[in-house]
Amino acid sequence: MTPESIAAEFEVTGQVVTVLNIDTGNVNDTYRVITRTSYSETQFVLQRINHNVFPKPDLVMSNMRAITDYAHKRLNEQASKSNRIWQLPLVMKTRDGKDFFVDAEGNYWRALSMISSATSHEQVLNVEHAHEAGYVLGHFQKTIADFPVDQLGDTLPGFHVTPTYLAHHDTVVQTDYAQDRLKGSSEARRVEAYIQERRDFASVLEDARERGELKVRPIHGDPKITNIMIDDITGKGTAIIDLDTVKPGLIHYDIGDGVRSACNPAGEEVKDLRDVVIDLDSFEALMKGYQKQAREFLTDADQHYMYDSIRLLTFELVIRFFSDYLAGDVYFKTDYESHNLNRARVQMKLCESIEARESMIRRILDSV
């Protein structure tokens, strides 16, 4: 089936005019669909869920349905008191009333409303943008904070559980393929050594969770800067998109991931590592924005683990990208031979920068 005929399976007004591939995201395939009637046009997002990454796509969709229904209700209740019009994608139904369409090859497809007149960016533009990234993330976490976490399925067991990624890495690194890749590149050996030196740090958040200091709650799971929509008219954050990974987790996964993405002005795809650094002005702005929303639901223990979460999620992504390089690029989509190695090196440089600036980061965390 073509993406055009799949688009027509969803409950839309008008006829499908075209389906444009949007080259975004490292996991799913994403398209922009345009439909027209004789007097109007509609656009929506069509996605093929990567069932190699998400073994239970129907569970992803039931989480997404539950959380968006809940969040839309809350956003509407609060609309008159709010300083902006918050948005969130809506899961569109198929013509036979389902939340997804399964094609003849067993691929799962979903359609989502498009957040129009808003733009997301590959990397942070300025401190205002960083502030909005924090504000949007805090607002989203606050909106879903009271959703009963036991009603969310675990769509990706082990997601953001760093010791699990480390254990996977340890298995992969022993294969002949991985050993060849290590022999072939001194950069790869440097990343490997970097990971080994920090092994003990990998369990910092999971240990705190096991001790009962940190609680599992509904989280976004993937709040990178490309998932933050900025309103073209007001310049303010208006939505967080990419709700695949909304599931039970620690809010620290979101904080760490949001910071490592939004406070690296070079972005995660850069090839020249010179500009990869944690930008402290962006960091301060992001945390100010985040705390304005989140302060009211964060505990003292939550605040205590902020620095660790920023360092850990960056370190975790070093492990994830690097293990995928050693495994032959089976998880993240790649565009060139050493893409995952390069991504790992970017996160390693960023992690080094976070470690070197620890005292300044902690000072900012105490002051916002």
Residues that bind ligand GN1 (CB under 6 A): 25-27, 53, 222, 224, 242, 244-245, 257, 268, 317
Among the listed ranges 86-94, 165-173, 215-223, 298-306, the one in contact with Mg ion (CB under 5 A) is 215-223
* Residue 169 or 368 having the CB closest to ligand GN1: 169
Residues contacting 173, CB < 8 A, separation 6+? 179, 182, 192, 323, 326
Shortest distance, position 71 Cβ to ligand GN1, whole Å: 19
* Residue 158 or 235 having the CB closest to Mg ion: 158
Spatial distance between the Cα atoms of 115 and 235, rounded to a whole number of angstroms: 14
Find out whether 218 and 152 touch, Cβ atoms under 8 Å.
yes
Which amino acid belongs to residue 55? P
Residue 112 exposed, middle or buried by CB count within 10 Å (0-12, 13-18, 19+): buried
- What dihedral do alpha carbons 54, 56, 62, 65 form, nearest 10°? 30
Q: Which of Mg ion, ligand GN1, none sits in contact with 57, Cβ below 5 to 8 A by type?
A: none
- Provide the total of helices (H) and of strands (E) in the chain, helices listed first: 13, 10
Shortest distance, position 13 Cβ to ligand GN1, whole Å: 29
88: nearest Cα among 100, 108, 70: 70
* Residue 231 or 257 having the CB closest to ligand GN1: 257
CA distances 188 to 111, 175, 319, Å, are: 39, 15, 12
Residues contacting 127, CB < 8 A, separation 6+? 281, 282, 284, 285
* Residue 132 or 222 having the CB closest to ligand GN1: 222
Q: Which of Mg ion, ligand GN1, none sits in contact with 26, Cβ below 5 to 8 A by type?
A: ligand GN1
Phi and psi at 176, nearest 5°, equal: -60, -40
Name the DSSP class of 148: -
Shortest distance, position 107 Cβ to Mg ion, whole Å: 17
Q: Which of Mg ion, ligand GN1, none sits in contact with 99, Cβ below 5 to 8 A by type?
A: none
Among the listed ranges 104-112, 204-212, 216-224, 317-325, the one in contact with Mg ion (CB under 5 A) is 216-224
Among 192, 222, 279, 324, binds Mg ion (CB under 5 A): 222
* Residue 192 or 242 having the CB closest to ligand GN1: 242
- Paired residues of 119 in beta bridges: 230
Shortest distance, position 245 Cβ to ligand GN1, whole Å: 5
Shortest distance, position 24 Cβ to ligand GN1, whole Å: 7
To which H or E segment does residue 315 belong? helix 306-326
* Residue 222 or 257 having the CB closest to Mg ion: 222
Specify the residue for token string 């924005």: 289
Number of residues that bind Mg ion (CB under 5 A): 2
Shortest distance, position 104 Cβ to Mg ion, whole Å: 26
Residues contacting 157, CB < 8 A, separation 6+? none
Shortest distance, position 160 Cβ to ligand GN1, whole Å: 8
Among 29, 99, 242, 279, binds Mg ion (CB under 5 A): 242
List the structure tokens of 95: 């013509």
Q: Which of ligand GN1, Mg ion, none sits in contact with 268, Cβ below 5 to 8 A by type?
A: ligand GN1
| Interface positions with Mg ion (CB under 5 A) | 222, 242
